[in-house]
Each structure stands twice: as structure tokens, then as C-alpha cells.
Structure 1
């Protein structure tokens, strides 16, 4: 079993690349499916970039979106060839969301 963290430009690129990698695109029934891969679509990731007057009543927090459209894959069949997704792999120090 292995986990992959991927970043695409947008949802359309994600759908195109995952379909090319063997996912079935069944929009009418819930989206993308693969029998040996669990898909966690995260989408845009928003992070706090600046906190002004921390701890005060009038605290202001600024937010920004990280670049890209993010998804996590949990691959249960280690023999699957997914080299076509290597160009989209990212290696976060602290992933936004992980598998339990």
C-alpha cells in the first residue's frame, strides 16, 4: 500500500490525468472510480498567511490559496503502474489531509 499526494492545475486536469491512469469517469454516479485506489479530492488549500493583533479582540487573519488543485491517492495494489502521475506528485512536509 502506498499513498500519493498530487497537485494539478485544476479539476479538469485532474480528471483527464486520473482517467488516463485507469480511473473510470462516471460523473452521474459520483465521479472517478478505481477498484484498487481510494481517491480523496481536496481541491484548493487555503492557509493563514498573516495574523494581525494576535490575541486581541480585533484580531485579523489574512488567507491565501496554495497553488493547484490537490488530491490524495491510497493505492492498495503495489503492482499498479502509475508513472504517468509522477509529474504531478508533491511531497508535503505536513500534508493537509492524510489517510487514517
Structure 2
């Protein structure tokens, strides 16, 4: 099992790259046998330390987490979009 964090420029690029790498689209959702998909979307970071009036800014990109369950799946088309966040916003349980 491998967990991979991906960042695309926007939602459209994400859809195209996932479909190009073998994901199938059905009723707006994306599927790939042997892969779990978590579309995070836009991530926001707090830019001040005021807990009563926090201010947030959108981080660059459209974020997706995937968990590859089938060890035979490699998805080389997605390698250019792999990121390694220091503190992921969402992780697999």
C-alpha cells in the first residue's frame, strides 16, 4: 500500500491527468480499480496568529490524495504532480 499526495494547477487538469492515467469517470466521479481517491481540492493556510480573527489564504493548486492498494499499479503519468507536504491537511486513516 502506498499513499501519494498530488497537486495539480486546477480541477480540470486533475480530471484530465487522472483519466489519462487510467481512472474512469462515471456520473462525475473518478474510479480506478486498486486505487482509493480523496479529492481535497483547495487547501487554505492561516496567515496570522490571531485565534479569534484568523485570516486564511488559498494555497496554490488543486490537491488530491491517492492510496494505491494494488502493488502492481504504478501510475507513472502522475509522477510530475507528486508533492511531499511536511504536514498533510488530510491523511488516510
TM-score range, shorter chain: over 0.9
**Structure 1 unaligned blocks of 5 or more:** none
Tell me the TM-score normalised to structure 1 length.
0.87
**Number of residue pairs aligned between Structure 1 and Structure 2:** 93
Other-structure match for 1:6: 6
Q: What TM-score, normalized by structure 2, do the two folds share?
A: 0.93
Give the CA RMSD over aligned residues.
1.2
- For the pair shown, the structure with the greater C-alpha radius of gyration is 1
Runs (4+) of structure 1 moved beyond 3 Å? none
Partner of 2:41 in structure 1?
43
Measured after TM superposition, the shift of residue 80 of structure 1 is 1.1
In structure 2, list runs of 5 or more residues that go unmatched: none
